[in-house]
Amino acid sequence: MSTPSSYRVGVDIGGTFTDIVLLGADGTIHTKKISSSVGDYARAIVDGLSELFQETDLAGRAIEEIRHGTTVASNAILEHKGARVGLITTKGFRDVLEIRTLRMPRLYDLAWEKPAPLVERYLRQVVDERVDARGRIEKALTLEDAERAVDALLAEKVEAIAVCLLNSFANPRHELMIKEVVERKAPGLKFSVSYEVLPEIKEYERTSTTVINAYVMPIVASYLKALRGGLDDAGIPAQLLLMQSNGGLTSDQAAAERPMNIIESGPAGGVVGAQALARAKALPKIITFDMGGTTAKASMVEEGEVSRASEYSVGAGIMIGSRLLTGAGYMLKVPAIDLAEVGAGGGSHVWIDGGGSLQIGPESAGALPGPVCYDKGGDMPTVTDANVLLGYINPKHLVGGALALNAGKAKDAFETKVAKPLGLPLEKAAYGAHQIAASNMIRAIKAVSTERGRDPREFALFAFGGNGPLFACGMARALGMSRVVVPPSAGLFSSFGLLYADVEHHYSRTFRRLLRQADLAEIERAWTALADQATAQLGAEGFAGDRMRLKRSAALHYQGQSYELTVPVPEGRIDDRMVGLLEEAFGQEHEKTYGHRAGKDEPVELVSIQIIGQGLREGGVPERLKPSRAEPTPPPPRRAYFGESGWTDTPVLRRSDLATAKSGPLIVEEYDATCVVPPGATAQLDSGGNIVIELN
């Protein structure tokens, strides 16, 4: 199917830049970084592609497919620019969406404000109905009441309707009744019904998820329509695939129907790319580390599988230790690659608190005014300023030459605001700031490893993002990790990683049964129903049976526990033998994660059943890549500061210079990232062009 003239495109839109990567079937790579066109994100993609075509003499027809990671949906939520949504819910429960869980993310904070509900109270209608926990209808919904609720919302001119009734996961009849009324009274109006988007127990999580889906539906649909139109006009008929929060791709039609699945689309690409390279390189255990200008994110890939969280909060902000303190942002219960995030990036402020202690962030200088060395009016020292003073970052300009730097200003600011108050020489203060930033980010790595009973020393650190390769070696050493891997195009890796993804759809359903008392045939039927949904969706997207792969898993806990662990379910009938296998797999996972397991007699409860349907595409990414961009001549060696080794003359190299192994200290400067290899470490390219650094 792929010919040398056929290309795949990865496009990642960030707040500042739109990154485009073109990959030919023969491994040729073209990259492009252009300013994002805020307000009309689709334009930057079409313009960027057109420019790339001119530079490369390619035609739109050469593009086989476009894979896209976007923050359109999450921005709509963060900026409260989604649709005017009406919500219909059960009488007595009008405020579930607004009461949330009662919990706040900050203790002792009198100034805390709850995030405003995405549907204001007067747009929340109740209907008089009741279904009990087992799905029995106690009070039937009347058609009149359903129509009254829908009419009331239509009179308020809502742009979308969300429906979430109590216990509907156990019996959707009333929700489906309301859906019919909406379809009849307002054909074409966007709507989101909880049983269809999330047939799972827990009313707040389900309501919030259903509302978010409705809230971003119109904006995502019109964005995708504009993008499709722009591509068609530019003569690019290629299929458009969207990256989902779970790390799988989906068609643009499916994304428009379930936009809740693409909300954390942005950071997923890099992790999926790391997963693919880890599989190719037979690295069984990696921790990904993605650091940009304002945040750093970590995730774990074990035995070739990314780890996923079943829920997360959109726009929860970044707080150290935040995994304990929930309540911020907007709850979304859809599977997402499990990322731990800390508010540390190149722009994070370096400051001294009232107790005389050096602190990093969480405030950031952002893109404007940016670090002091950008010379755009920033006067607060930042992590990037520290890296310039330490000689890690080119003191004259950011690589590529687009941005001139003023190292003198950074030095003055650091001297007066950090070094003098601490009574430390400048380089010690800057090195301290670098180390503390690293130690904050180490919390993210621990969150995805030790907090789950995994020992980071058994993992390789896979670093990308503009600043990831600069910090990776120091962090790996502090954690006792012995290997760091820096992929090609590290600074563009979020868009590059899109090229490795498969089409993937996740389905789950609450199914609470004690395993040893359950009707196994009933469980089998429920799983089959989910499998049918998955194959129907994949079939609609053009996958033949032999290109589909279904993976079952089950969320289980000991009866009485309120938290589940998910274990894979092997192929085969659900019989007593399978129940035994599941109980054992759960017990092992419990022991691995928490250090203990209960006795064999402790009843294990099935909580939900899940299926992942994957559509496997032909023609993967070639191992050997051929970047079209020529490497610039590297600058001369410069002095860099490495703690105990002090100031050291450090060569600055191109990536290709590492074809043979070289010992640190050395710095690799590239178009999109800087990689620092400290003294005592050895760096060499592998066959795929990754920089592999061994620490001793």
Partner 1 sequence: MADLKDPIAFELFKNAIFSIADEMALTVFRTTYSGVLKDNMDYSTGFADADGKLVAQGLTLPGHLGSVPTAMESIMRHYRDDMAPGDVFIMNDPFDGGMHLPDIFVFKPLYHEGRRMAFACTVCHHTDVGGRVAGSNASDSTEIYAEGLRIAPLKLYEAGKINKTIMTFIEKNVRLPVKVFGDLRAQLAACHIAEQQFADLVKRHGPDETAAFMRETVDYAERLTRSALAKLPDGEWSFEDWIDDDGVDYGKPIRLFVTIRKKGDHMVVDWTGTNPQVKGAINNTLSFTKAASYCGIRSVLPPGIPNNEGVFRAIEVICPPGTVGNGVLPAACAARGLTGFRMVDCMFGALAMMLPDKVKAAGDGGNTGISIGGYDSERKPFIYVDFTCGAWGARPWADGLDGNSHMMANMASHSIEVTEAEEPIQLLAYEFVADKAGAGKYRGGVPFRRDYRFLEEEGTLQVRSDRRDHRPFGLYGGSPGAPSENYLNPQAENKILPGKFTMTVKKGDIFRHVLAGAGGWGDPLERDPAAVLKDVRNELLSPAKALADYGVFIDTAKWTVDAAATTKRREEMRRARNWSEVPKVQRQEPAGLTATVRAAE
Hey, which residues between 359 and 388 contact partner 1 (CB under 8 A)?
A: 359
Contact 215, 116 (CB under 8 A): no
Count of CB atoms within 10 A of residue 109's CB?
A: 9
3-state secondary structure (DSSP) of residue 328: coil
Question: Site for partner 1 (CB under 8 A): how many residues?
Answer: 74
CA–CA dist 502, 306 (Å, integer): 13
- HSE-up (13 A, CA, CB side) for residue 248: 25
Q: How far is the CB of 353 from partner 1 (least distance, A)?
A: 6
Tell which one of 53, 223, 414, 558 touches partner 1 (CB under 8 A). 558
Helix, strand, coil shares of the chain, percent, nearest 5, are 35, 25, 35
Q: Of the listed pieces 352-360, 575-583, 620-628, 675-683, which binds partner 1 according to CB under 8 A? A: 352-360
403-407, long-range: CB within 8 Å, 24+ apart, which pairs? Answer: 403/374, 404/375, 405/373, 405/374, 405/375, 406/372, 406/373, 406/374, 406/375, 407/373
In our burial notation (b when 16+ CB lie closer than 10 A, e otherwise), range 314-343 reads: bbbebbeebeeebbbbbbbbbbbbbbbbbb
Amino acid in the structure at residue 458: E
Q: How far is the CB of 465 from partner 1 (least distance, A)?
A: 22
Q: Which of positions 577-606 make contact with partner 1 (CB under 8 A)?
A: 593-596, 598, 602
Q: Is 109 in the site for partner 1 (CB under 8 A)?
A: yes
Q: How far is the CB of 26 from partner 1 (least distance, A)?
A: 47
Tell which one of 121, 184, 592, 626 touches partner 1 (CB under 8 A). 121
Q: How far is the CB of 439 from partner 1 (least distance, A)?
A: 5
Nearer to partner 1, 313 or 593 (CB): 593
Amino acid in the structure at residue 311: E
3-state secondary structure (DSSP) of residue 447: helix
Q: Give the CA dihedral 214, 218, 224, 227, nearest 10 degrees.
A: -160
**Interhelix angle 203-233/41-56, nearest 10 degrees:** 40
Nearer to partner 1, 90 or 244 (CB): 90
Nearer to partner 1, 92 or 229 (CB): 92
Q: Of the listed pieces 233-241, 431-439, 623-631, 664-672, which binds partner 1 according to CB under 8 A? A: 431-439
Nearer to partner 1, 601 or 618 (CB): 601
Amino acid in the structure at residue 170: A
Q: Which of positions 41-100 make contact with partner 1 (CB under 8 A)?
A: 92-96, 98-100
Q: Of the listed pieces 140-148, 161-169, 186-194, 500-508, which binds partner 1 according to CB under 8 A? A: 161-169
Tell which one of 432, 474, 491, 613 touches partner 1 (CB under 8 A). 432
Q: Which of positions 221-260 make contact with partner 1 (CB under 8 A)?
A: none
- What is the edge-to-edge ordering of all strands in the sheet holding 160-164? 124-127, 85-90, 160-164, 190-193
Bond before 362 cis per omega within 30 degrees: yes
Contact 504, 265 (CB under 8 A): no
Q: Of the listed pieces 25-33, 183-191, 436-444, 576-584, which binds partner 1 according to CB under 8 A? A: 436-444
Q: Of the listed pieces 295-303, 308-316, 336-344, 561-569, which binds partner 1 according to CB under 8 A? A: 561-569
Nearer to partner 1, 266 or 474 (CB): 474
Q: How far is the CB of 186 from partner 1 (least distance, A)?
A: 23
Q: Which of positions 447-466 make contact with partner 1 (CB under 8 A)?
A: 450-451
Nearer to partner 1, 89 or 494 (CB): 89
CA–CA dist 219, 628 (Å, integer): 36
Bond before 187 cis per omega within 30 degrees: no
Nearer to partner 1, 573 or 600 (CB): 600
3-state secondary structure (DSSP) of residue 457: helix
Tell which one of 439, 533, 535, 684 touches partner 1 (CB under 8 A). 439
CA angle 147, 153, 154 (to 5 degrees): 85
Q: Which residues lie across from 358 on neighbouring strands?
A: 352
Q: How far is the CB of 402 from partner 1 (least distance, A)?
A: 33
Q: Of the listed pieces 108-116, 236-244, 256-264, 378-386, which binds partner 1 according to CB under 8 A? A: 108-116
Tell which one of 39, 188, 423, 545 touches partner 1 (CB under 8 A). 423
Q: What's the chain's length in residues? A: 696
Nearer to partner 1, 112 or 647 (CB): 112
Contact 470, 386 (CB under 8 A): no
Nearer to partner 1, 153 or 243 (CB): 153
Q: Of the listed pieces 291-299, 391-399, 400-408, 425-433, which binds partner 1 according to CB under 8 A? A: 425-433
Q: How far is the CB of 204 from partner 1 (least distance, A)?
A: 7
Nearer to partner 1, 37 or 326 (CB): 326
In the numeric block, the tokens 């300023």 are attached to: 385
Q: How far is the CB of 320 from partner 1 (least distance, A)?
A: 9
Nearer to partner 1, 34 or 126 (CB): 126
Q: Which of positions 168-197 make contact with partner 1 (CB under 8 A)?
A: 169
DSSP 640-671: EE-GGG-EEEE-EE-GGGGGS-EESSEEEE-S
Nearer to partner 1, 401 or 603 (CB): 603
**CA Rg value for the chain:** 26
Count of CB atoms within 10 A of residue 58's CB?
A: 17
Look up residue 385 and give its two tokens: 């300023």
Q: Of the listed pieces 234-242, 484-492, 529-537, 560-568, which binds partner 1 according to CB under 8 A? A: 560-568
Look up residue 397 and give its two tokens: 């300009």
Nearer to partner 1, 304 or 643 (CB): 643
CA–CA dist 126, 119 (Å, integer): 13
Among residues 334, 339, 342, the alpha carbon closest in space to that of 439 is found at: 342
- HSE-up (13 A, CA, CB side) for residue 138: 13
Nearer to partner 1, 595 or 636 (CB): 595
Q: Which of positions 124-143 make contact with partner 1 (CB under 8 A)?
A: 132-133
Look up residue 435 and give its two tokens: 């180390």
Residues 6+ positions from 2 with CB-CB distance below 8 Å: 25, 64, 618, 619
Q: How far is the CB of 268 from partner 1 (least distance, A)?
A: 24
Q: How far is the CB of 111 from partner 1 (least distance, A)?
A: 8
Q: Of the listed pieces 31-39, 379-387, 417-425, 626-634, which binds partner 1 according to CB under 8 A? A: 417-425
Nearer to partner 1, 597 or 654 (CB): 597
Nearer to partner 1, 26 or 98 (CB): 98
Q: How far is the CB of 679 from partner 1 (least distance, A)?
A: 19
Among residues 197, 209, 211, the alpha carbon closest in space to that of 118 is found at: 211
Q: Which of positions 280-339 make contact with partner 1 (CB under 8 A)?
A: 321, 323-327
Tell which one of 58, 78, 104, 234 touches partner 1 (CB under 8 A). 104
